[in-house]
Chains A and B, each alone.
Chain A
Amino acid sequence: MKNQYTFEDIEAYLAEEQTEEERRSFEADLEDDVRLQEAVEKHRLAHQLTSAYAAERTRGQVAGVFNAHRKQESGRMISMRRWAAAAAAVLVLLVAGYWMMSSPQQSVPALATSYFEPYPDRVTTMGSEADALTEAMAAYNAGRYEEALALFGALPEGTLQIELLNLYTGTAALQAGQPDLAEQALAQTARSATAYAPAGQWYLALTYLQQKKTALAKPLLEELRQEGAYKQKSAGELLDQLP
């Protein structure tokens, strides 16, 4: 090099920080001096490398922000999906619960219970057995069905018409949690040719429903509805709610 340009001089030239005079002088030397040309070229390459480094570092920064943010957004989406799934599950449970509570198939015994009313006291007590029958009916009317069952069983034969006695015994047994006894007693009344037969059918149907024997209850209820007899309206309603 004709002139000993320093590292800083060449940097100043490339950064256009020289005075007009300095630049003109530098370029005049540059035109003739191969070594100076090589030195300037090397500075230019170093600048390009530095620019490439800055670009790569920026690229890394951008990628870091991009990936972290997308991951965060993705996490939010997953979180939202989880919440949505949880909400959907709760909704399904609520619907299922409501369905279970209201579904006739699941609530047949409960349905039968809701239609149960004790057969009314139609007993007129007279004669020597009156005290025992009165005591039994008193227990029945008070809802003391187990006690009533025991008292009904202890009544001397002929105290009460057998079909009526079976009706009271059956309803009491049904309420006392003895469905087999209820079924047995009520079936006799239901099959009888007495005025108590329709009531026997009704309570027998309820007994079947309590035991989820819907198929056995339905013909009895159909018969009650069609004949327009005892509990016609209730029988129709109950049938409509059965599966």
Chain B
Amino acid sequence: MFRKNIITDEALVKSISAGGRSEARALEYLIDKEYPKVLHFVLQHGGNDADGDDVFQEALTALVLNIRRSQYKGESALGTYLFAIAKGVWFKRIRKTGRDRDRDQEVGRSSETVDLSTPETPMIAADKRQTLLEVFENLGEKCPDVLFLWASGYNMEEIALRAGYSSAQAAMNRKNKCLKALHAQMDDNPILVDLLKNLR
């Protein structure tokens, strides 16, 4: 077994914000370091391996989103923060199935330093997810990327740079154009509005 280099939280946050291969490497590092702990926790609390995979991915997704949106302030170690999110995800999941007896006590303990209230964090049912993805993919040239970057918390300068626009204003114009196309889709496709009610 080879011991991997230790990467600081600061470097991980920077890599995740940068996106691309740098982000993937940071995620791989977090998977190696934190996944076993989350899996152990889930197994200890009545879950199985598949639950462990789901919970960890859900927590990692929330972590990435929070980092991109600058909601992670570095007040706790990244691993601790990720683990706390994972515990919250797991207890939320078992609250639905009523599998855990001590959940309220545990949730209170795990959530004290982590804000898990981002509205889009909950997963969407598979069929609705597909509809959502298809709608955005068909909004027009570069719209999926521009809206993804904008909703991920990047400012217009960064969006211009990443999406290949000459200025922040050009990126802003594109963003608004894409949003208008989305509005048109919402008029034509009321299921999109209903979709938001189906967040679980």
Per-residue interface assignment for chain B, residues 168 to 185, with 1 indicating a CB less than 8 Å from any chain A CB and 0 otherwise: 000000001001101100
Number of A-B residue pairs, CB cutoff 8 Å, is: 104
Q: Is A50 part of the contact surface with B, judged by Cβ < 8 Å?
A: yes
> Within the complex, which residue of A52, A54, A58, A59 is in contact with B196, where a contact is CB–CB below 8 Å?
A52
Contacts of B123 in A (CB 8 A): 59
Per-residue interface assignment for chain A, residues 109 to 153, with 1 indicating a CB less than 8 Å from any chain B CB and 0 otherwise: 000000000000000000000000000000000000000000000
Q: Is A86 part of the contact surface with B, judged by Cβ < 8 Å?
A: no
Q: Is B107 part of the contact surface with A, judged by Cβ < 8 Å?
A: no
> Do A66 and B60 touch (CB < 8 A)?
yes
Contacts of A51 in B (CB 8 A): 118-120, 151
> Do B193 and A66 touch (CB < 8 A)?
no
- Judged by DSSP, the binding face of A is helix
> Do B119 and A48 touch (CB < 8 A)?
yes
Contacts of B68 in A (CB 8 A): 58
Q: Size band of the B side of the interface?
A: 35 or more
A238 CB, nearest partner CB in chain B, Å: 50
Q: Is A8 part of the contact surface with B, judged by Cβ < 8 Å?
A: yes
Q: Bound state CA distance, A69 and B57, in angstroms?
A: 12
A202 CB, nearest partner CB in chain B, Å: 59
Contacts of B135 in A (CB 8 A): 49, 53
Q: Which 6 A-B pairs have the closest CB atoms?
A: A54-B151, A55-B120, A51-B120, A50-B151, A59-B61, A52-B120
Interface of B toward A, CB cutoff 8 Å: 24, 27-28, 31-32, 53, 56-58, 60-61, 64-65, 68, 118-121, 123-124, 129, 132-133, 135-136, 144, 147-148, 150-152, 176, 179-180, 182-183, 186, 192-193, 195-196, 199
